[in-house]
């Protein structure tokens, strides 16, 4: 069916953004038989930072994608990790081995493949996915059971749809919230991630996630699938405040190499493995931020659109999937309670209120943990990056 033939379609829920939060929300709602439209502005993505997941998150992966270790499963974008090695509170390596956990391993995620697998599962569950389509406007209406009128734009033209409920899963940009006049509240940090891919022709049997504190920030590294021609790949990311001179240095190949050569832990690992840099250095915001309001009348935000975390927390994907599941259930219950009415889907609804309260609690818990981990790093107390983290904690 062409897009023009779909003009005027009606949905229970429209979800803007098809990353992990959007796809997982769509899966949850579609499995309840809800009519779900999942829209994605990009036709495809070429850049996503990888992420590590602890063993406790594997149950979420199984729920949304199936068992990665099942005999019939060939899930792309998932790779086992053995644990974490960090040089943080001191120059002595601290090793957290996953061997004694129930699963025996964690996961490293190739985000492009992982996100695409989630989208495919959303479609299999019954959701309608449209790529390359942007939200031009959303307007409140009072039309029977429908709350929203949407105008979408794509290369095929303009289309209009109606829905009972709206979910913002557009990531840090929070497209829907901005349209509705809900401001993003940054937490006064300017953390930015500078990523460089490395490859080698030999084998790399290191399965640990590596973290190392530095005078002007901190390093992250993990194995990933080969970047070019099937070679072994490793992602190395430097995190620092974007306004600091060191961060500006990290944006160039020469500057990144200079900073990396000063690392105690990661540079020797790369050298021993015969790694060489490939591709260009890519950057992405990594600061803490949240919406002033996590929802309103007949809409809520999920994932990074609601609140985005410093990657030191290693909670991005876990938070996206976990809160998406909760959001999907709460939206379904709210819609079930109001089968013939568009009213009663705002903050006064017990289910929506529960979701919003959970978001507030998650934010407070996150801030406490973030401040704790930055606070236990005692070195370089005279450096601006670490001075700022201590000020945030006070």
Of 223-237, 254-268, 368-382, the one with minimum mean pLDDT is 223-237
Q: Do 194 and 212 belong to one domain?
A: yes
Res 364 pLDDT > 60: yes
The whole-angstrom separation of Cα 300 and Cα 316 is: 18
Q: What's the distance, Cα to Cα, between the start and end of the chain in Å? A: 57
- Compute the 3-state secondary structure of the chain and give helix, strand, coil in percent, each to the nearest 5: 35, 30, 35
Are 183 and 275 within one domain?
A: no
Counting the structural domains of the chain, the total is 2
Work out the number of other CB atoms within 10 angstroms of the CB of residue 352. 26
d(CA 103, CA 86): 21
- For residue 229, pLDDT over 50 is answered with no
In a domain, 391, yes or no: no
Arithmetic mean of pLDDT, 201-221 = 91
Q: Are residues 135 and 42 in the same domain?
A: yes
pLDDT of residue 4: 41
Q: What is the mean pLDDT of residues 261-272?
A: 94
Domain that holds residue 148: 3-47+114-187+288-375
Indicate whether 70 pLDDT > 70.
no
Q: What is the residue-averaged pLDDT of the chain?
A: 89
Separation CA 110–CA 234 (nearest Å): 11
pLDDT for 377: 94
- Asked if residue 260 and residue 356 are part of one domain, the reply reads no
Domain-embedded: residue 389? no
Pairing between strand 208-214 and 83-87?
A: parallel
Q: What are phi and psi of 214, to 5 degrees?
A: -140, 165
Kindly write down the DSSP assignment for every residue of 216-233, as one continuous string. Answer: TEEEEEEEES-SSTT-EE
Long-range contacts of 100-106 (CB under 8 A, 24+ apart): 101/55, 101/56, 102/55, 103/55, 103/58, 104/55, 105/55, 105/80, 105/81, 105/207, 106/52, 106/53, 106/54, 106/55, 106/57, 106/58, 106/80, 106/81, 106/82, 106/209
Same domain for 247 and 127:
no
Percent of the chain with pLDDT over 90: 68
Q: In terms of domains, do 124 and 271 share one? A: no
pLDDT band at 268 (very low <50, low <70, confident <90, very high): very high
Token pair recorded at residue 81: 């990790």
Nearest Cα residue to 15 out of 313, 235, 327: 327
Asked whether residue 205 falls in the same domain as residue 300, the answer is no
Least confident of 117-121, 325-329, 348-352: 348-352
Cα distance between residue 192 and residue 239, in whole Å: 6
Is residue 199 within 8 A of residue 53, CB to CB? The reply is no
């Amino acid at each position: 069916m062409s897009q023009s033939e779909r003009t005027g379609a009606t949905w229970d829920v429209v979800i803007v953004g098809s990353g992990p939060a959007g796809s997982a929300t769509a899966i949850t709602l579609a499995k309840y038989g809800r009519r779900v439209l999942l829209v994605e502005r990009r036709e495809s993505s070429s850049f996503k930072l990888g992420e590590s997941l602890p063993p406790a998150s594997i149950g979420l992966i199984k729920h949304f994608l199936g068992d990665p270790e099942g005999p019939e499963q060939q899930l792309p974008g998932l790779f086992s990790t053995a644990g974490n090695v960090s040089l943080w509170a001191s120059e002595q390596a601290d090793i957290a081995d996953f061997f004694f956990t129930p699963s025996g391993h964690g996961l490293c995620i190739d985000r492009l493949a992982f996100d695409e697998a989630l989208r495919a599962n959303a479609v299999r569950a019954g959701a309608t996915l449209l790529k390359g389509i942007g939200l031009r406007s959303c307007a409140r209406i009072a039309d029977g059971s429908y709350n929203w009128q949407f105008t979408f734009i794509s290369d095929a033209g303009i289309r209009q749809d109606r829905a009972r409920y709206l979910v913002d899963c557009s990531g840090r940009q929070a497209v829907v919230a901005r349209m509705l006049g809900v401001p993003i509240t940054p937490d006064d940090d300017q953390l930015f991630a500078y990523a460089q891919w490395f490859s080698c022709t030999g084998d790399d049997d290191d399965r640990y996630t590596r973290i190392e504190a530095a005078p002007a920030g901190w390093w992250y590294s993990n194995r990933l699938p080969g970047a070019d021609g099937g070679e072994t790949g490793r992602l190395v990311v430097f995190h620092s405040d974007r306004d600091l001179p060191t961060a500006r240095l990290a944006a160039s190949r020469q500057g990144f190499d200079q900073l990396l050569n000063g690392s105690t832990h990661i540079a020797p690992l790369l050298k021993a493995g015969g790694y060489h840099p490939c591709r260009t250095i890519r950057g992405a915001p990594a600061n803490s931020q949240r919406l002033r309001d996590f929802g309103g009348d007949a809409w809520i935000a999920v994932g990074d659109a609601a609140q985005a975390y410093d990657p030191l927390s290693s909670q991005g994907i876990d938070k996206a999937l976990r809160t998406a599941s909760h959001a999907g259930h709460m939206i379904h219950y709210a819609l079930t309670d109001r089968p013939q009415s568009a009213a009663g889907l705002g903050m006064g609804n017990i289910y929506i209120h529960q979701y919003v309260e959970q978001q507030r609690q998650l934010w407070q818990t996150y801030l406490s943990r973030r401040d704790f981990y930055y606070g236990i790093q005692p070195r370089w107390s005279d450096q601006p990056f670490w001075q700022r983290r201590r000020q945030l904690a006070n």
